[in-house]
Amino acid sequence: MEIPLETVALFSLKLAYEADGQSPILRDDLVMGDYQRDVFEFLVRKGDLNTIKAKLDECIDLAMDAIGGADSPMGRELQKLALGLQQAHSLEQLNAPLLMLQNYLKDIL
């Protein structure tokens, strides 16, 4: 589960901060400090669903701003996928919406 969590964060931060013609944001960049795989691995081991959701919300908010907000077509879809994450009551329930969000972010990059 840690890899999809890190990937969602990476794709969201790429949308928010990566500009054409500049170096791409990579997993080991400073901007990824709070969203790296080992951070998520620790949270998953602790079963800290609320902190995981909060970290994902931070990333989704950045991505939402980058794509024009919740009123844009892509923003409405992102909002719908984010709602699926928030409705998860366990780490197991987080898997399916997390993968859908990961795939969506990958597609819009």
The rounded distance, in Å, linking the Cα atoms of 55 and 49 is 10
Greater confidence (32 vs 23) lies with 32
Question: DSSP for 59-98?
Answer: HHHHHHHHTT-TTSHHHHHHHHHHHHHHT--SHHHHHHHH
The rounded distance, in Å, linking the Cα atoms of 27 and 36 is 7
For 16-25, 59-68, 74-83, 96-105, which range has the lowest pLDDT when averaged over its residues? Answer: 16-25
Distance in Å from the first CA to the final CA of the chain: 21
Tell me the pLDDT band of 3, cut-offs 50, 70 and 90: very high
Say if residue 21's pLDDT is above 80: no
8 A C-beta contact, residue 13 and residue 62: yes
Say if residue 23's pLDDT is above 80: no
Question: What confidence tens digit (pLDDT) does each residue in 38-62 have?
Answer: 999 999 999 999 999 999 999 999 9
